[in-house]
Amino acid sequence: MKSKTTWGVCIALSAVIAAGWYAANLTRSETNEPQTAEPTSAANLGKAPSPIASRQVIRLNATMQSAAGMKVQPVSRKSLQLARILPARFAYDDTRHVSLRTPTEGVIESVRVQPGDRVEEGQAVAILRSPTIGRARNQVLTNQANRRIAEKAFRWEADVHEGVAKLVKLIRSGASMETIERSLKDETLGDFGGKLRSAYSQARLASDIVESIGRAGDQGAISGRLVLERRSDQQQKQAVLESTIQQSLFQTQQSLAQAQSKLDACDRELRIAKQTLNTLLGSTVESTEDLDVSPNDPNVSRFTICSPLAGTVERRVHSATERVATQDELFVIADTRILWVEADIRGNDWGAIDVATGDTVFVSTPAFNTSSLVSPPQSAIVVFWGRNVDPSSGSIPLVAQIDNSAGKFRPGMFARMTVPTQTLEDVIAIPESAVVDIEGQDSVFVQVDGGYRAVAVDVGERSSAMVEIRSGLTEDESIVVAGAFILKSELLLEGEE
């Protein structure tokens, strides 16, 4: 029984193998049969016809056009301002930037600000101790004291000279002693008052005696010899009085001139001392109040360093307790709300650049040209052209002022400056966004028959976001200026079908 079963299985397997071999041979024979080929022309041997050559009209419904942000505008002639893009970098505005340095050698006692801090004009940023400043301040205080002494001396001599002049005037008018005392009780006369009064008193007495004996001599009561003696004495006393007057006026005038000269010398010495201190402190003020000089301050060597402008502390170099030399940099303080952009103009561009002070240029920076943060070019105002050529680069700087209120720019960042060169008049100019590349050919989509057809164009000069079209478009056409890439994709898809 088992033998019959084994033979049955072998026969079944042989049948399956035979059927498989027959099917395989049948398939191979069908594959090897000759096929009839269609005639092939030279045109069919090349690529598929170009979509532009086929002049297909692409039609999109309203929903697709809205989703693509499709915009159309008519072709027109206009002036096209050409520009050159120059390498540039951001820098501090020289009028809003200062490198704060030590006026002289010393030791930093304290630092009151850190980088990034906002400071106001006149705000204290550091304290410096310097013996040199102390000596200069002491010289100012000494000269101030000397001047006060000289001024008092001058006032005294002036008052004495004025009082003596008044006394002489009263004496020559013949005023009585009582009148003189009453008139000059508040005047300053010094030693000259006593001398003049004594001489005047003796002269008046001699005159009175001469007058009295003169009447007696006329009556014969006194001898003529005595009268002559008294008259001689009167003349002597009058001469002494006149000599005393002249000597007093001369001496008071000379003393006043000497006092004035000494006061002027003290003024000059004080001015020199102030200027010396000004030089040390880097100041141009003249008054001692602005020089931080106080006669009651024992710390005359202590100097407060203040910010000369309002801005931000950009850099701090030294710390407290450090010793510094003259003109060592302590801080960089700047108002970065306004910055400069310095572009390098090479020799071959000097004649092409067409800008002047006050003109507008546009600045962009690669640091903001990323997919996550895109910043359009920002306008800047030309401040000046450089006059000197950099020997290392062979270029001259073009400096423009840019608003940085948002704080997105930093000094030292690289930038690109778009600078006008020349103007093309009466040319067809379209937005650069309207031009797409279709199979290596610059093309635009023209609105026709309720759809859009790709048209090859000859592109000329490019400037910013505009391009010149030399051929391919006419003024009576309207073109797609936004959404052209979607139309290009549709055109290529239809071409593949």
CATH architecture type of domain 141-276: Orthogonal Bundle (1.10)
pLDDT for the residue 299: 76
DSSP string, 75-132: --EEEEEEEEEEEEEEEE-GGGEEEEE-SSSEEEEEE---TT-EE-TT-EEEEEE-HH
- What does the pLDDT profile of the chain (497 residues) look like in tens digits? 444 444 343 444 444 444 444 444 433 333 334 333 343 333 333 344 454 544 588 888 888 888 878 898 999 998 887 888 888 999 999 999 999 998 889 999 999 999 999 999 989 999 999 999 889 989 999 999 999 999 999 999 999 999 999 999 999 898 888 998 899 888 999 999 899 989 988 888 888 887 777 655 555 556 667 767 778 888 898 899 899 999 999 999 999 999 999 999 999 999 999 988 888 876 544 444 445 455 556 678 888 889 999 999 999 999 999 999 988 999 999 999 999 999 988 877 777 787 889 988 999 887 655 544 445 789 999 998 877 888 887 788 899 999 999 888 999 999 998 888 877 888 888 898 889 988 889 999 998 888 888 899 999 888 767 888 999 898 889 989 888 888 888 888 765 55
| CB atoms near residue 461 (< 10 Å) | 16
- Classify strands 436-438 and 378-385 as parallel, antiparallel or unpaired: unpaired
84-94+336-423: in CATH 1.10.10.410: no
Give one DSSP letter per residue of 240-254, joined into a string. Answer: HHHHHHHHHHHHHHH
Cα separation, 480 vs 74, whole angstroms: 9
The structural architecture, per CATH, of the domain 54-80+425-496 is Beta Barrel (2.40)
CATH of domain 97-130+301-333: 2.40.50.100
Helix (H) / strand (E) element for 296: namely: none
Fold match between 84-94+336-423 and 97-130+301-333? no
Cβ contacts of residue 194 below 8 Å, gap of 6+? none
The confidence score (pLDDT) of residue 215 equals 59
Tokens for 68? 């693509």
Nearest CA to 310 out of 278, 336, 341 is that of 336
Burial 335-352 (b: 16+ CB within 10 A, else e): bbebbbbbbbbeeebeee
Q: Domain segments of the chain: what residues?
A: 54-80+425-496, 84-94+336-423, 97-130+301-333, 141-276
CA 182/CA 193 separation, integer angstroms: 14
